[in-house]
Amino acid sequence: MIASVLPTYNRAPLNFVKGEGSWLIEADGRRFLDLGAGIAVNALGHAHPALVQALTDQAQNLWHVSNLYQIPQQQALADKLVEHTFADTVFFTNSGTEACELAVKMARKYFYDKGQEQRVEILTFDGSFHGRSAAGISAAGSEKMTKGFGPVLPGFVHLTFGDMDGVTNAITDNTAAILIEPIQGEGGIRAVPDAELKALRALCDERGILLILDEVQCGVGRTGKLFAHEWAGITPDIMMVAKGIGGGFPLGAVLATEDAASGMTAGTHGSTYGGNPLGCAVGCAVMDHVTDPAFLDEVNRKAGLLRQKLEGLVGAHPEVFESVRGSGLMLGLKCKATNIDVVNAGYDNQVITVPAADNVIRLLPPLTLSDDDITQALLRLDQAATQIETA
């Protein structure tokens, strides 16, 4: 008999009932150090007082109102995002997948309105992940995600990650945009080097196409800048955001320049829940924290400390780990042992990590992780590695 919850997930036998900062508490009372943060979602950790306050204050006043009316919390969050980024305008969604849908529509509509309706193709890269909607899986294009689900949507050209010549050659009169994650998350913490991001920006400018960045996983302070592309000194035309922006409340956004968004006039897109008062109230509280330069300085300091200790861990367990990769608090341990075994050994030692492609385990802790948490992380990961070595 099929499970009452559609069995699309491989779930670990863990049943968390409470979260406190960087810690998750299991129904049996065990405390787990959460280095996954709901896959880069709980940016301020679990039950951050400012987020609890923002949510409960809003819940006592108004939960939902249609986008047929003004939503002051949405306006406030859009203003904050515009103030702190390249963007001139923001559309709110409930997830990263929905942000992908709009990013694709926006790029195509831009060219349609400019009389270049043949420009519909979006260039994407192997190992990418943009969500599980029809457009999301067609954009990523991997057989694992698309097989069995009928025809993939046309208009996506899949390129080899890191092959800049391939990108240059793939741009034609039908190209609308390049869509790329500055750091691939699901793909195994694979960073696009700053020089390549700069080259992609230059190529887009030269060839008159749009640059769409998917910062759903790497954005919102995760790399030690508000958004990862800032390290390369470039800006996109369109950017997808989700996960961390809601700190655990479902919230996503598409940010765009005025020019890139010019096709999206009244009636061209919409969402019932996108930009609802609850989500936006929480999003404002998240933004107030992650835009504080002192907060980002701390993320960078702790990221340096964690990375240095992880290098030591890799050195101490050469049979289990190969290398450390990533940026800020978006780190990956490339494994020699099978990554799932390492994640499971982590569970045995009460530390949560997240598997990714390329035999990597991801460490995406709350950005509020303390120095003591880092000490605990290393202790537990070291025990997990020893358990694998002695198995």
**214 among annotated binding-site residues:** yes
* Rg of the chain, C-alpha, whole Å: 21
Shortest Cβ distance from residue 184 to ligand PLP (Å)? 7
User: How big is the site for ligand PLP, counted in residues (CB under 6 A)?
Assistant: 15
SS3 212: strand
Shortest Cβ distance from residue 77 to ligand PLP (Å)? 17
Q: Given the complex with ligand PLP, which of 124 and 359 has the nearer CB atom?
A: 124
Query: What are the residues whose beta carbons fall under 8 Å from the beta carbon of 86, sequence distance 6 or more?
Result: 235, 236, 239, 255, 257
Q: Given the complex with ligand PLP, which of 270 and 318 has the nearer CB atom?
A: 270
244 binds ligand PLP (CB under 6 A): no
Residue nearest to ligand PLP (CB): 96
93 binds ligand PLP (CB under 6 A): no
**95 among annotated binding-site residues:** no
- With contacts defined by CB under 6 A, name the span among 96-104, 149-157, 226-234, 280-288 that binds ligand PLP: 96-104
DSSP label at residue 345: H
Closest CA to 40 of 254, 185, 184: 185
**370 among annotated binding-site residues:** no
Asked whether 262 and 297 are in contact (CB, 8 A), the reply is no
- Quick one: tokens of 108? 């195509």
Beta strands in the chain (DSSP E): 16-20, 23-26, 31-34, 89-93, 121-125, 156-159, 175-180, 183-184, 190-191, 210-214, 238-241, 252-256, 321-327, 330-335, 351-352, 354-356, 360-363
**149 among annotated binding-site residues:** no
Shortest Cβ distance from residue 131 to ligand PLP (Å)? 3
Q: If you search the block for the tokens 């390369």, which residue do you land on?
A: 232
130 binds ligand PLP (CB under 6 A): yes
101 binds ligand PLP (CB under 6 A): no
Q: Given the complex with ligand PLP, which of 109 and 130 has the nearer CB atom?
A: 130
* Known binding positions for N(2)-acetyl-L-ornithine: 132, 271
Residues lying near ligand PLP in the complex (CB under 6 A) are found at: 39, 95-97, 100, 129-131, 181, 185-186, 214, 216-217, 242
